[in-house]
Amino acid sequence: MSDATWQVSSTYVSAFSQSLRALGLFEAVHAKAPELLVSPNAQRWWPGADFVALLQACEAAHGRAQVIAANVRTSHERMGPLVKPLASVLLALSSTPTAALLKRLPAFLEAGVRGVSGSSELRGDGATVRFVFPSPVPEVTSAVWHGLFDVGFSIARQGEVVSEVLAPTQHTYEIRW
């Protein structure tokens, strides 16, 4: 049974499906989640567990690096354009672009997921960023955050992940800029 305590938007699922096609990864994972991949807009929000099953199928067929590549592409192609207008305003008003974006992390998360909380603890040259799930998720789920960070760093023109700690209900990243 699917865990509906957190969800992924159909916008993200649709873009992920397109990324899998563009990267030549679609056919190997299609059988594992046909409705999710073929009709991603059949519902507005998908249970997180369904999306996790898709990520796991992709990882089993192609490896973690390809799952990350698909999520980075997804974030740049579809999610980046959704958050870029707000991000541009924030950047115009800030001397530390990445910090400005991280302060709005919960708002940016709402474009793609709900039921997952995101927070950041800022310091002079970086931050600790946490994503907390209401129930345990496998490590492959962290590939989504790689896409989010890549878009944010591209928009801010600075930033890098220096460490990643993946616990069952919390993914923690040290960011430096």
Q: 121-137 pLDDT, tens per residue?
A: 999 889 999 999 999 99
Pick the closest to residue 73 from 130, 175, 134, 148 (CA basis): 148
CATH superfamily membership of 7-176: H-NOX domain (3.90.1520.10)
Q: Supply 52's token pair.
A: 């996790």
**CA–CA dist 59, 68 (Å, integer):** 9
Pick the closest to residue 113 from 138, 133, 96, 140 (CA basis): 133
Host H or E run for residue 167: none
Q: What is the pLDDT of residue 54?
A: 94
Higher pLDDT, 11 or 154: 11
Q: What is the pLDDT of residue 82?
A: 63
For helices 143-156 and 80-92, give the axis angle rounded to 10 degrees.
Answer: 40
3-state secondary structure 16-82: HHHHHHHCCCHHHHHCCCHHHHHCHHHCCEEEHHHHHHHHHHHHHHHCHHHHHHHHHHHHHHHHHHH
Q: What is the pLDDT of residue 24?
A: 94
**CA–CA dist 54, 126 (Å, integer):** 32
Cα angle 10, 14, 18; round to 5: 170
Domain ranges for the chain, please list them. Answer: 7-176
Mean pLDDT of the chain: 87
* Total-model pTM: 0.87
Average pLDDT over residues 1-10: 75
